[in-house]
Amino acid sequence: MTDSRQTVLILDFGAQYTQLITRRVREHHVFSEIVPHSIKKSEVETISPKAIILSGGPSSVYGGDTPQFDDRILELDIPVLGICYGLQLIVHHWGGKVESKGNAEYGFAKIHRISNSNLLEGISDETQVWMSHGDAVTSIPEGWNVTARSSSDVIAVVERSDGQMFGTQFHPEVVHTTEGRKILSNFLFNIAHCTPDWTPASFIDKTVSEICNRVGNERILCGVSGGVDSAVAAKLIHKAVGDQLKAAFVDHGLLRKNETQYITHTLQPGLGLTIEVYDCSKSFLSRLKGITNPEEKRTTIGEEFIRSFESIAAREGGIGFLAQGTLYPDVIESGGGKSQGSASVIKSHHNVGGLPADIAFKLVEPLAELFKDEVREVGKELNIPEGILSRHPFPGPGLGVRIIGEITTERIEILQEADDIYIYLLKKWGLYDEIWQAFCVLIPIKTVGVMGDKRTYENLIALRAVTSLDGMTADWYKMPDDALNEISSQIVNKVKGVNRVVYDISSKPPSTIEWE
């Protein structure tokens, strides 16, 4: 770590809740980041975290497939909290016993405190928690205390008597653990003595100075897509290097209806910087001709994006850097795990559909440490208008991944019209802000209909609307019937070439949000 910011390290043992732990810590304004379970003691020492949290995970401490772990980390003078598998690991390391006794607990459970506890300070004597385990601690190491048990008598909380090491069998990070927030706060502030210094303002200060150091006197190109991430990235970079920033909007012909007007009339004045519009739709669409495979579409669009940026940079001269709006979930999903600092993480980001190998730019990714809602907080701190920050996410490959099958001008127009009606009506019904992301998909089949006594044989549109926190998981949105009814009939009546509308009721997982 080159900065003095306090960090809580989350060692990831493969639990589905690892990201949630990170978020929960950050909600207390303490910076936290996920590192792989294989991290070495020396690497932890270099980072010098204020505290360490060991996540849960699917393994057993006595199984043959235990994840690689440098257990000398547990001997550092740093407070540790083990959650579920993390607890079992600690107990096992210090000579306690973990067994699978067939008393697995999944879901809601009650725990009650049985002795004084720093971790449970201020928590009700009996409280609801969320359990998800097969194994349980059956005997604790010497010098440790059991401070809470579950109603089925499972050891629920253990603490080492020096007050530096703790474990919970349940998950304090999930909302079903009613006092989980307080438990984490006890750990962070009463035990590890963290300072709540992770705020949008501190992030902006740190990132602005990192960008200045990295970019020096060079110029930097930032592709602005109309979405929240690139808007916030552009504003941050502008704050750091002013006119060394060249903000460019590449119109790839796969945008929502009237998007260019939005860029010039709303985004540009809202951000207070000049955004140059480049119409590159012809070259994108000609390269996409005949392509139906989703991955091939993404790669083609990604490559074409980079080629467009390169030709803009060549025309301008002297641009060595390209900025991307990569977010923390992208870094984690791409296997990045440990963020290397906001300006230096280089990865193949799906913002541009996967980068070509021969990219001629150095990358700057100022948002690579942030979750989506944190990006919005940073945007607010930068005084970006709410209307810009509350826009639904829009993927880099745009309508390209929402037109299933071949992309043609005619099919783009059909989708643009249907989508425009959909979004307009969601706003009219006051539903837009309840939904994390909504869009139409054009499906490559035709079905039979009847309009004005005439048989029709036309296109099918699917409506997608999901609620989500960060796009990693999502639920389909329970849309009111009346709204669905109006959306369907307006699309069928107004969009030439569409005679049927369906509503997508799939969640993520197992489906994804986008269809391609």
Q: Which is nearer to ligand XMP, 183 or 375 (CB)?
A: 375
DSSP H/E element including 130: strand 126-133
Helix (H, G, I), strand (E, B) or coil at 325: coil
CA distance 62 to 82: 17
Closest CA to 323 of 280, 354, 358, 366: 366
Q: Which is nearer to ligand XMP, 170 or 249 (CB)?
A: 249
**Cβ contact 204:153 at 8 Å:** no
Residue 194 bears catalytic tag: no
Closest CA to 379 of 177, 227, 481, 185: 227
Q: Which runs of consecutive H residues, i.e. helices, occur in 317-408?
A: 328-333, 372-381, 386-389
Token pair for residue 398? Answer: 């745009």
Other beta carbons within 10 Å of 335:
8
The least distance separating ligand XMP from the CB of residue 393, rounded to whole angstroms, comes to 4
Applying CB under 6 A, the residues found at the interface with ligand XMP are: 350-351, 353, 393, 395-397, 437, 471, 508, 512-514
CA distance 215 to 362: 10
The least distance separating ligand XMP from the CB of residue 155, rounded to whole angstroms, comes to 38
The least distance separating ligand XMP from the CB of residue 194, rounded to whole angstroms, comes to 31
Burial of 478 (0-12, 13-18, 19+ CB in 10 A): exposed
Dihedral of CA atoms 212, 368, 10, 123 in degrees, nearest 10, equals: 90
Residues counted in the chain:
516
Catalytic residue among 37, 92, 171, 238: 171
Return the half-sphere exposure (C-beta side, CA atoms, 13 A cut-off) of residue 11.
31
Q: Which is nearer to ligand XMP, 82 or 396 (CB)?
A: 396
The least distance separating ligand XMP from the CB of residue 38, rounded to whole angstroms, comes to 26
Q: Which is nearer to ligand XMP, 186 or 351 (CB)?
A: 351
The least distance separating ligand XMP from the CB of residue 350, rounded to whole angstroms, comes to 3
Residue 171 bears catalytic tag: yes
**Cβ contact 331:368 at 8 Å:** yes
Q: Which runs of consecutive H residues, i.e. helices, occur in 400-495?
A: 409-428, 481-494
Return the half-sphere exposure (C-beta side, CA atoms, 13 A cut-off) of residue 304.
24
The least distance separating ligand XMP from the CB of residue 436, rounded to whole angstroms, comes to 8
**Cβ contact 284:353 at 8 Å:** no
Catalytic residue among 159, 173, 417, 458: 173
Q: Which is nearer to ligand XMP, 136 or 231 (CB)?
A: 231
Other beta carbons within 10 Å of 399:
24
Token pair for residue 405? Answer: 């099958």
The least distance separating ligand XMP from the CB of residue 225, rounded to whole angstroms, comes to 7
CA distance 154 to 171: 14
Catalytic residue among 33, 84, 159, 349: 84
Task: List Cβ neighbours of 412 (8 Å cut-off, separation of 6 or more).
Answer: 253, 254, 399, 403
Residue 280 bears catalytic tag: no
Q: Which is nearer to ligand XMP, 44 or 463 (CB)?
A: 463
Phi then psi for 2, rounded to 5 degrees?
A: -95, -20
The least distance separating ligand XMP from the CB of residue 513, rounded to whole angstroms, comes to 3
Q: Catalytic residue positions?
A: 84, 171, 173
